[in-house]
Structure formats: C-alpha cells, structure tokens
Amino acid sequence: MSKLIIPLWICCFLVFPKITPAEVVTYRDVTGVEVGWYDASYALVITLSDYQYAWGDLDFLNEDANRVAGALMEQGFEVVRVNNPDHHALTAEIQQFFDIYGQQRYSRLVVYIAGHGYTLGEMGYIVPVDTPLPQTDPTGFLATALEIKQLQHIANQAPANHVLCLIDGDLSPTRLDLNPGMVRPLSFTTSEPVRQFIISGSDHQNQWNRSMIADQFAKILYGKAGEIGKDGYLTGAEIGFYLQQRIALFSAGSQRLIFGQTGAGDVVFTTTPSLSYILATQRALMRNEFYLNLIDVTRTDDPYSWQLLTRRYMRQPLAPLKESEETRKKKAEQTGKSVFGEEYDF
C-alpha cells in the first residue's frame, strides 16, 4: 500500500487556484447575502487496482483517480491519496480520515474509492486488494470485504456537516437507507447536515474496463459541465443527478448510478458562473435597485430625480424639464446633489 498526503502548497502551482482549506469559504446568494461557509475542505482518494486474486487488475484507475484528486485540489481540498490498501488498511485509512479531518462541524469532506465492487443479495461491498473471490472462498470474502453500510456508519459518526462519498466500483443495485435527494436553495442546504452517496453499478459485475464516474466528476469540478453550475455553485445533488443521466447515456444503459443521501443539506462546490447567468443577475439586481430608487423619488419634489432615474435605468432621453433659474439655484444651494448622489449640471 502507498499513501500520499498532497500538501497545500502544491495548490499554489495550479492554473486556477481558488481557496485553501485553512481559509473560511463563504457562500453568498445573488443579492450578496451570506448563506453558508466551510472552515476546511478535505478529501480521501483511494484506488484498488492491483489485486492478489482473480478479480482482474484495474491499472487505469490510478490515472483516473489522480484526475479526480487534481480537480478536488482545484476546489481547495487537501487530498489524502492511498493506493492498494489491504482490508485492514482500507478500513483504518477511512476511520482515520474521519477521526482527524471530520471533527470540525463546518467542514466539507469527500471520499472517493475506486476499485472492484461486489453485491451479495442487496448488500454492496468494496473489494480490497487481498479479498478472495466469493465463489471460491465465501467466508474469506465476507471477512475482508468492506460493506458500504460500514462506510456509511463511519461517515455518520463524524461531526462534520457535509460529506460526499463516491464509490467508483462495479456494483449492481445496492440497498442503502438513503433518500433520493433534491436540489434546494443554497441558503437552506448549506446550513443542514448531509451524507451523500454516489455509487456506480451495472448489470454485469467484474466486466469493468473504464471509469466513467472519474472522468465526468472531474469535468464537473473543473467547470466543464455546461448544463450545471451556471450560477457559480455546484451541489452534491446536482452532481448526482447529472452523473446519473450522463453515465446512462454514454453507456447505452449498461451502467447506472445510485444516488441518495441522509439529511437535508448539500455539499457545495464552486464554479465559474456563465455569462448569461451573470447578465440575468445584473438585470434582476438593476430592476430591484430601480424600484427601490423609484420609492425614494416619489418621496421628493425634485423633478430632476425622475430624469436621472429614467436616464440611468430606462436609457430613454427626456425633453429638458422647464424650471426657473431661481428654483434651480435654490435647490442646488440646499442639496448640491440629487437623491442618487449625482451632481446637477448647471
């Protein structure tokens, strides 16, 4: 087994560094009101590729997992990278990760595990590199494989508010006590706790030859999924629903995704908002400002306020207002400025 903790200073050499886990990450809605924050961001990325038994090696997973780790670093995560742990080390690494990094309430945690998976009945298992085949050694399999419910239990014990787990294994439908999840307003999801699970599956176990989750998940975090994140934010629910659609489409239905969660919150990531969203938001804020200023104008007897209002927001030229020179000078002496803080043009 190899383990690597990618230090924070490496993030400084990325092309688009955004945040560092030591910083408080603040999220605001379109009006600028603070709706949530994270004190820290940590990720555990595990690959299981070099198997001792006849599961079949998955050498391509290392490259895929490195891409995921890089995308998470781009999002400001400190990444713990683990390769090929046996069943003792796998459980220990997961437990240690939550024990060390999951103690802060306002932190976000991501766990990504890629390797073989297996389903017995309705129970899904992650297969460590030293786990025997269930067909030849069922007792050894059950003694060493990691049940996904155990991962869920470990995650539930951590005080951290927001946890997202991605299991990139070849699992058929797995029974977990999860809600389907839904996309909610950012102000609501950031304040509530959540445990979200994204689990890959297919109709044919052990016929895996490429990871689709890693590629799509990395693209999403890099802001290359144009359908979501237009407002500058990505949530775990949006990612889960998007991956379900994309993987079903790309695999022609042979692979599918299980997404669900416990808790009403949502893990939040950032992305670059689309130009159309920025313009729409600016128009909405301008309309809001216009109506607020309109209320101010109706409370004054200054006729030039109306002209300034329409000139700024409606962009319509008006005929000069008729007013005596004496009245204009008197108002200028009294205020010197309009209700908008703009000086009169005398």
By the 10 Å C-beta count (0-12 exposed, 13-18 middle, 19+ buried), 60 is classed as middle
Domain termination residue (choose one: 246, 272, 298): 272
How far apart CA 152 and CA 177 sit, in angstroms, is 10
How far apart CA 54 and CA 214 sit, in angstroms, is 24
Q: Which of 15-19, 149-153, 181-185, 329-333 has the highest mean pLDDT?
A: 149-153
Percent helix / strand / coil, the chain, rounded to 5: 35, 25, 40
How far apart CA 233 and CA 223 sit, in angstroms, is 10
Percent of the chain with pLDDT over 90: 35
180 and 326 assigned to the same domain = no
Does residue 339 form part of some domain? Answer: no
The predicted pLDDT at position 14 comes to: 31
329 and 210 assigned to the same domain = no
Percent of the chain with pLDDT over 70: 58
Does residue 341 form part of some domain? Answer: no
What is the DSSP pairing of strand 107-114 with strand 40-47? parallel
Determine which of 19-28, 133-142, 194-203 has the lowest per-residue pLDDT on average: 19-28
159 and 307 assigned to the same domain = no
How far apart CA 346 and CA 326 sit, in angstroms, is 12
Cβ neighbors of 13 (< 8 A, separation 6 or more) are none
Q: What is the mean pLDDT of residues 296-310?
A: 49
Q: What is the mean pLDDT of residues 218-222?
A: 90
226 and 120 assigned to the same domain = yes
Domain termination residue (choose one: 255, 272, 289): 272
Asked if residue 53 has pLDDT above 80, the reply is yes
Question: What is the helix (H) or strand (E) element at residue 123, kind and residue range?
Answer: strand 123-126
Convert the pLDDT of each residue in 251-295 to its tens digit.
766 677 888 898 888 998 887 655 555 555 555 555 555 454 544
214 in Cβ contact with 67 (< 8 Å)? yes
The predicted pLDDT at position 174 comes to: 56
183 and 302 assigned to the same domain = no
Domain termination residue (choose one: 237, 272, 307): 272
284 and 246 assigned to the same domain = no
Convert the pLDDT of each residue in 115-127 to its tens digit.
999 988 888 899 9
The predicted pLDDT at position 315 comes to: 43
How far apart CA 83 and CA 104 sit, in angstroms, is 26
86 and 217 assigned to the same domain = yes
170 and 287 assigned to the same domain = no
230 and 127 assigned to the same domain = yes
Q: What is the mean pLDDT of residues 137-158?
A: 95
Q: Where residue 111 sits, what CATH number does that domain have?
A: 3.40.50.1460
55 and 127 assigned to the same domain = yes
How far apart CA 125 and CA 273 sit, in angstroms, is 38
Chain centre distance of CA 262: 16
243: closest CA among 329, 192, 302, 181? Answer: 181
The predicted pLDDT at position 89 comes to: 96
Domain containing residue 145: 2-272
Convert the pLDDT of each residue in 148-205 to its tens digit.
999 999 999 999 999 999 998 877 655 566 666 666 666 667 778 999 999 987 655 4
The number of folded domains in the chain is 2
130 and 83 assigned to the same domain = yes
342 Rama class: left (phi>0) / alpha (psi -120 to 50) / beta: beta
How far apart CA 60 and CA 118 sit, in angstroms, is 19
Does residue 340 form part of some domain? Answer: no
254 and 284 assigned to the same domain = no
